[in-house]
Amino acid sequence: MTTCSGFSDKAGICNNEVVDSSKSTYCKNCAGKSFENQISRIFEIQGYKVTNNISLSGTQNDILAQIKIGVTNISILIECKFKFDESDKVNSEDVRKFHGSKEIFHREGKYGDIDKAYIVTNAQFAPQAYETSQVLSVNLFTEQELIKNLMDFTPYLRSTIKMYESSHLYKHFIDLNSVNDWSMLEEIDQFLRYDDPALVILGDYGTGKTSFCTNLCYRLANDYLAGKDVPIPILIQLRDYERAVSLQDLITSFLVNRWKIPNGNFETFIEILQMGYVVLIFDGFDEIARRVDYTTKYKVFAEISKFADYHSKIIVTCRKNFFNHREEFEKIFKSTPLHYEPNLSSVDFVEVEIEKLNEDQIYDYIYSYEDILKSKGYEVEDFIHVMNSIHDLSDLAKRPVLLNVIIETIPQLVIEEGTKINAALLYEKYTGFWLDREDSKGKTLIKSEQKMMFSKELAWKMFNKNTLSITYNQIPKEVKEYFNITAFDDVDHFSHDIKSCSFLHNDDDKGYKFIHKSFMEYFSAQFILSELDSLKISDKKFEMKLKRILGETLITNEVGFFIRDLIEVRRFSKEAIAAKLKTINLKKFDLVCMKNIISLYSKLGENISNIINNLDDLSGVDLSGALFENSIIKNGNLLGVSFQNATFNNIKFQNCVLTDAVFRNSQFTNVQFTKCDIEGSDFSNSKISYCTFIESTLAFTKFHSTTIAKTDFDQAELTEADIDENSKFIQCYNLESVIGLPYIINVS
């Protein structure tokens, strides 16, 4: 039995059974009261004075709404009919009973004359009910019809459906799953059904966050127009925040300028949001700017949180690694101290993370392109065989954005025996093929090689300026500077050529952006390595030029990912890069440049332990894929460092801060952690053997599908560590001395 959550004076104390837990957390009585409260607020918004639950001569009347317009007083008696089953229609007998109540109410005269009588339902009315209502002068309204009178979203919803059905997503959308083994649609359904006001959807680059939100809006728009009890979906792209003074301006522009919604004022919108009639989706919290400080992130989040009130529903999407470390995410999304601000309460966002695609999802997506693949000479089964024959390729396909690139690229890609295929190679082929096609048409002023070089520099500039888009006006300026041209017509023609690149597209608000953030990151990696490749150690300005390339902003995990891939497929000489980096005196560079030099070094496959030994602060550095061997690392600040896919052999960490470090998919052999703070770090999918965590703090760490063998945990702390059933502790020592060891772990 599921107990009712209770409404109003019964909140938390109602002991009745829930009627249908799939639709509501209320019993029949509380659901009815909640519905009456909603309808009352709709009339209050319009200026009516509302009186509830009036008893006269043995009859109960739900709502009396009264308003004075000029010298005229208008009174409306309202009967509310809540139905758990939306197919359970209000019938003619319900209309007759209400008419009888209205007559008694009118005859008593205690509240004056009754001018109108309404029945309002969340379901539908039977045809006979409409016939009876006309005879008895009773007006029938669905809840949606009342909302439509306040603010009519019908044109917007129809347009949302039309645009979706004309997009590639209509035929090729993949139903995503969460890391909780639920479908993402089930996660959203749970969120909309229960009382949590806010949810954050996390996902790495290319996992399909925006596509999912677009599909969700399409589904909800269809359901709403079909009369189902679902909220109206409003999708706001936060990348537009840069061009708006505030989120209020952004939403007002959406309602009034973009969609011209009747009565589309901000105040009314907030009212219907707080009543639960709208789900407000903010896509791209990480796109407010590429790399911003905590203050900016908090400012935008505080604005968003002001919408999370009463029955409102707020969804925010964000890249998981947008935050410098887990503590920053927790401070913003989990325990933001909004309760210290007047009239605001703390908002605890429910957290849902998108899982990478599984085999069935990948195959379904490929089959959706069956006709296109056949036109290129591929049977689907043959295409899947090619993809599965290359381990790296099938792993890359787990991200929707890369799977799309694979489908676009493989039919033209000649796969040689032993060829290493990774994400960088796919992006190189994809962009190269498209530009070559444009060249073959003979209508371009700029050859593909020049376009590629321009794209690299433009991406690098955008990366350093913390922006994802460039305005129409900026493109000619960049073209003029890069190609060194002065004639106005030439600048205009060259700019048009650049704008037509397939990896640049119009973002619908007087600007251009790369078709996906990952393309900007790929081109940024290309630019960094190209510039480094052209530097000569003998150049007197070597250090100054290196500072220009690496001194503005930290290399992110994604850019580092592409740098490693480009070196791996030998697009740039690993040996030449290593030779240049080895000549550098790190002490001559500022902190950002120094960290980036070390990040580059970590992509070469060489032991970097001795390089970082004498450095005090490496917080936030991307050291993914690094090799650490035969060294002692003391008193290091390694807060939030990414060690993903790293290898550690015979390493001693002593008194180091490793809070919120990312050790996913790493290998540890004979590694000693002594008195280290490793709180909040992630060891998922790692192999740990013959190691020690003596007197180290591992509270709130994550061990998912982790194998730990013959490792000593003497006096370590594992308070609230997230250890899943797939993690194995094999012949480990001193587990009995661990503080906060979970009750159930897989020990053998």
Mean pLDDT value of segment 131-139: 95
Q: What is the pLDDT of residues 199-239, one digit of tens each?
A: 999 987 678 999 999 999 999 999 999 988 899 999 998 87
Kindly report which listed range (162-171, 313-322, 567-576) carries the lowest average pLDDT score.
Answer: 313-322
Q: Are 716 and 736 in contact (CB under 8 A)?
A: no
User: How far apart are the C-alpha atoms of 734 and 716, rounded to whole Å?
Assistant: 9
Per-residue pLDDT, averaged over 292-315, amounts to 77
> Which tokens belong to 737?
């001395």
As given in the structure block, the two tokens for residue 399 are 């991200």
Q: How many CA atoms lie within 13 A of 729 on its CB side?
A: 19
Q: Which residue has the higher pLDDT, 742 or 233?
A: 233
Amino acid (1-letter code) at residue 712: D
What is the rounded distance in angstroms from the CA atom of residue 8 to the CA atom of residue 168?
46
**For the segment 40-65, what is each residue's pLDDT rounded down to a tens digit?**
999 998 889 999 999 888 888 999 99
Which stretch of 2-16, 373-387, 392-406 has the lowest confidence by average pLDDT?
Answer: 392-406
Q: What size, in residues, is the chain?
A: 748
What is the CATH code for 28-149? 3.40.1350.10
Given a cut of 50, whether residue 90 has pLDDT beyond it is yes
Residue 487, pLDDT above cutoff 70: no
Q: Which residues pair with 140 in a beta bridge?
A: 119
| CA 634 – CA 617 distance, rounded (Å) | 12
Distance (Å, rounded) from C-alpha 499 to C-alpha 493?
A: 10
- pLDDT category at 608 given cuts 50, 70, 90 is very high
Kindly report, as residue ranges, where domains of CATH 3.40.1350.10 are found in the chain.
28-149
CB within 8 Å of 654: residues ≥ 6 apart: 632, 633, 634, 635, 672, 674, 675, 676
Confidence class for position 341, pLDDT limits 50, 70, 90: very low
Do 502 and 515 form a contact (C-beta atoms < 8 A)? yes
Residues 6+ apart with CB under 8 A from 45: 150, 268, 271, 272
Q: Which of 697, 745, 695, 696 is nearest to 725 (CA)?
A: 745
Span 379-403, pLDDT tens digits: 888 888 877 765 556 777 888 877 8
Q: Give yes or no for residue 288 having a pLDDT over 90.
A: no
Dihedral-angle region of residue 310 (phi above 0 means left; psi in -120 to 50 means alpha; beta otherwise): left
In the chain, which residues fall in CATH 3.40.50.300? 153-353
What was the pLDDT predicted at 678? 96
Model confidence pLDDT, tens digit, residues 102-117: 999 888 888 888 999 9
Domain 607-747, classified CATH 3.40.47.10, yes or no: no
**Which residues 6+ apart lie within 8 Å of 72 measured at CB?**
none
Nearest C-alpha neighbor of 636 from the set 601, 607, 608? 608
For the chain, residues classed under CATH 2.160.20.80 are 607-747
Tokens matching residue 355: 């899982």
User: For the residues of 42-85, what is the DSSP string, one character each?
Assistant: HHHHTT-EEEEEEEETTEEEEEEEEEEETTEEEEEEEEEE--SS
Name the percent of the chain lying above pLDDT 70.
87
Query: pLDDT band at 484, cuts 50/70/90?
Result: confident
- Which of the four pLDDT bands, split at 50, 70 and 90, describes residue 470? confident
Separation between Cα atoms, residue 456 and residue 461, nearest integer Å: 9
State how far the Cα of 694 lies from the Cα of 737, in Å rounded to an integer. 10
Tokens standing for residue 298: 């908090």
pLDDT tens digits, one per residue of 611-630: 888 788 899 999 999 999 99
Least confident of 176-180, 483-487, 564-568, 606-610: 483-487
Q: Mind listing the pLDDT tens digit for each residue in 522-554? A: 999 999 999 999 999 888 898 899 999 998 899
**Is the pLDDT at 280 greater than 60, yes or no?**
yes
Nearest to 151 by CA among 258, 42, 283: 42
| Residue 16 pLDDT class (50, 70, 90 cuts) | very high
Q: Partners of 747 in the beta sheet?
A: 729
Q: The domain at 153-353 falls in which architecture? A: 3-Layer(aba) Sandwich (3.40)
Contact criterion met (CB below 8 Å) for 79 and 101: yes
pTM, 2 dp:
0.64
